[in-house]
């Protein structure tokens, strides 16, 4: 369904709210990993949810379990084009988030970041509503400050192969704060650190999904660099809780606020954990480090703790177990589908 078709149909078959306090919430990028988990969380609280996605990296499969919910609607739309919807809040998550995905079409990635933010802000301005921007720890680049605090301006290569995403997100933040200052708008901006969990794409190129899929398939786990670079891994349920707390915080709490797990692990350590948890006989293969790949990444979450009373609760071992179970089932279904015989046409 397109935006136009949805607005036309709504005049005759409106969504029905179960609770008088429920909201009508728009989630852009709602068919993606984080977006689909957020849609699920918002629906569980009795809200109506409109999911806007062009399916560039999101999938309908992520929304299958929500499709029969009368308070949920999927709208296929690219956020680089303006849209008009009657909603009470906007979560702007639309953008490819893994390097292979956002580097596949860097111009569109930059447009998604800038125009996607601009269109979300214009709609929020027209409706007089709050709008949330999902930014990223990549705004810090390859940081000289460790751990990274929100007042650190970063070390980003503006013309490198990752700039379409890194600088795109920085520009989106600029737009949000300029709109807030110029139009007195209510904005919420979070900076997401590495997050993992069910509904990640098996081919998204991120380290957790890469390692799990390779281990389950008995392939070598690919480490780029020597494995001593560090990352901090936040389970998706913890992150979504942070999203909701930030959106529901007082208007004076605008962000940017770091959301991530301050536990720091070497990539090589993560690889060994995945091999042990899956029982795989996989080995580790080392490859050259990609350009501008940060060496260290760990959030300072003091501001989130102070302003949102938020901190992650799911240990990495527990989250990995849940994520491995998800991918194991996903790959089994995929393998079974590949083995099904092709039915010949009766024509």
Residue pair 152/302 in contact by the 8 Å Cβ criterion: no
What are the tens digits of pLDDT across the range 196-240? 999 999 988 889 999 999 999 999 999 999 999 999 999 999 999
Residue pair 4/78 in contact by the 8 Å Cβ criterion: no
Strand partners, 265: 231
pLDDT of 346: 43
What are the tens digits of pLDDT across the range 269-304? 999 999 999 999 999 999 998 876 778 889 999 999
DSSP type of residue 260: S
Residue pair 55/76 in contact by the 8 Å Cβ criterion: yes
Quick check: 347 pLDDT over 60? Answer: no
The answer to whether residue 284 is domain-embedded is: no
Quick check: 345 pLDDT over 50? Answer: no
What are the tens digits of pLDDT across the range 322-335? 999 999 999 998 77
pLDDT of 291: 76
Return the structure tokens found at 304. 């989130």
The answer to whether residue 205 is domain-embedded is: no
pLDDT of 15: 56
pLDDT of 339: 60
DSSP assignments along 39-59, one per residue: HHHHHHTT-EEEEEE--SS--
Arithmetic mean of pLDDT over the chain? 92
pLDDT of 157: 94
Query: Quick one: average pLDDT of 97-124?
Result: 95
Return the structure tokens found at 32. 């993606």
Q: Where are the beta strands (DSSP E) in the chain?
A: 24-28, 48-53, 72-76, 89-92, 130-136, 187-192, 195-196, 221-224, 230-232, 234-235, 257-259, 264-266, 284-287
What are the tens digits of pLDDT across the range 128-147? 999 999 999 999 999 999 99
Q: What are phi and psi of 16, to 5 degrees?
A: -110, 125
Query: Quick one: average pLDDT of 44-51?
Result: 98
Quick check: 102 pLDDT over 50? Answer: yes
Domain range holding 243? 95-197+235-262+292-314
The answer to whether residue 296 is domain-embedded is: yes
Residue pair 8/37 in contact by the 8 Å Cβ criterion: no
Q: What is the rounded CA–CA span in Å between residue 217 and residue 201?
A: 15
pLDDT of 294: 76
The answer to whether residue 324 is domain-embedded is: no
pLDDT of 337: 66
Which of left, alpha, beta for 336 (phi over 0: left; psi -120 to 50: alpha)? alpha
Q: Is 66 helix (H, G, I), strand (E, B) or coil?
A: helix
CATH number at residue 187: 3.40.50.720
The answer to whether residue 105 is domain-embedded is: yes
The residues carrying an active-site annotation are: 165
Strand partners, 27: 51, 91
HSE-up of residue 40 (Cα within 13 Å, Cβ side): 18
Q: What is the rounded CA–CA span in Å between residue 205 and residue 210?
A: 6
Strands 130-136 and 187-192: parallel
The answer to whether residue 320 is domain-embedded is: no
Quick check: 344 pLDDT over 50? Answer: no
Return the structure tokens found at 34. 């984080």
- End-to-end C-alpha distance for the chain, whole angstroms: 32
Q: Is 199 helix (H, G, I), strand (E, B) or coil?
A: coil
Percent of the chain with pLDDT over 70: 91
The answer to whether residue 37 is domain-embedded is: no
Return the structure tokens found at 97. 């988030």
pLDDT of 285: 94
DSSP type of residue 138: G
The answer to whether residue 147 is domain-embedded is: yes
Closest CA to 156 of 169, 167, 164: 167
Q: What is the rounded CA–CA span in Å between residue 260 and residue 185?
A: 26
pLDDT of 12: 44
Domain count, the chain: 1
């Amino acid at each position: 369904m397109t935006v136009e078709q949805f607005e036309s149909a709504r005049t005759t078959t409106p969504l029905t709210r179960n609770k008088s306090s429920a909201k009508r919430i728009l989630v852009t990028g709602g068919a993606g990993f984080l977006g689909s988990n957020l849609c699920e969380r918002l629906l569980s609280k009795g809200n109506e949810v409109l999911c806007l996605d062009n399916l560039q990296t999101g999938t309908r499969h992520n929304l299958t379990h929500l499709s029969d919910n009368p308070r949920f609607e999927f709208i296929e739309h690219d956020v680089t084009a303006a849209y008009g919807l009657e909603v009470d809040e906007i979560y702007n998550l639309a953008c490819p988030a893994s390097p292979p995905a956002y580097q596949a079409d860097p111009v569109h990635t930059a447009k998604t970041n800038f125009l996607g933010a601009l269109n979300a802000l214009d709609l929020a301005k027209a409706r007089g509503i709050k709008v949330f921007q999902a930014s990223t720890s990549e705004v810090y680049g390859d940081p000289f400050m460790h751990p990274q605090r929100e007042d650190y301006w970063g070390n980003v290569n503006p013309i490198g192969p990752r700039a379409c995403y890194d600088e795109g997100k920085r520009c989106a933040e600029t737009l949000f704060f300029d709109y807030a200052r110029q139009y007195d708008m209510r904005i919420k901006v979070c900076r997401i650190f590495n997050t993992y969990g069910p509904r990640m794409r098996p081919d998204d190129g991120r380290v957790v999904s890469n390692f799990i899929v390779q281990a389950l398939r008995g392939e070598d786990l690919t480490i780029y660099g020597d494995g001593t670079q560090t990352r901090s891994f936040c389970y998706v349920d913890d992150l979504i809780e942070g999203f909701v707390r930030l959106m529901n915080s007082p208007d004076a709490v605008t962000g940017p606020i770091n959301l991530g797990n301050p536990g720091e692990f070497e990539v090589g350590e993560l690889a060994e954990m995945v091999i042990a948890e899956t029982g795989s006989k996989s080995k580790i293969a080392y490859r050259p480090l990609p350009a501008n790949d940060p060496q260290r990444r760990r959030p300072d979450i003091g501001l989130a703790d102070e302003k949102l009373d938020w901190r992650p609760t799911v240990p990495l071992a527990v989250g990995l177990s849940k994520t491995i179970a998800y991918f194991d089932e996903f790959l089994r279904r995929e393998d079974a589908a590949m083995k099904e015989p092709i039915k010949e046409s009766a024509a």
